[in-house]
Amino acid sequence: MIEPGVQAPEFTLPDQDGQLVSLADFRGQTVVLAFYPADFSPVCTDQLSVYQEVRGEFEDRGVKLLGISVDGAFCHRAFRSHLNLDIPLLADFHPKGEVAKAYGVWSEQYGLSARALVMVNGDGVVEWSYRSPPLEVPGANLIFDALDQRTPA
């Protein structure tokens, strides 16, 4: 898994509406990349629902949250609609898992991303990363704790 202190790999992926989103679009902002295995799976549904509940608190702290899985944009759109999510969902669909591989969270065994969180600062450097044990929802408290541990600029 990618470690804090390294430059985050750049990427450009389509979101749920087919619009291209790049990590570079968020320079100057803190971004949390929430890698998850699959839309509509029970644990992923719980995970993204939890993040949606505290989305406003992330925004109040200047954090942009992006979900990333290997599902396609159309599946992401249906998943967002089903859960009433505002969180952008990015499709690491083709080449499958390319971004997950770059961040060290790809599972070759399952052909999916592991469940992981990566915080990237405004300069594009990884500040914090966390890989969840299988079937465990990485709670929003992990992200808030990581934000609280930041060294003031």
Residues annotated as catalytic are: 44
Tell me the two tokens of residue 123. Answer: 């300069």
Q: Helix, strand or coil for residue 99? A: helix
Smallest Cα–Cα separation from 120: which of 47, 36, 27, 57?
Answer: 27
Tell me the two tokens of residue 151. Answer: 């060294």
CA pseudo-torsion sign 95, 99, 103, 106: negative
Instruction: Give CA–CA dist 118/103, Å, rounded.
Output: 9
Smallest Cα–Cα separation from 52: which of 44, 3, 149, 29?
Answer: 44
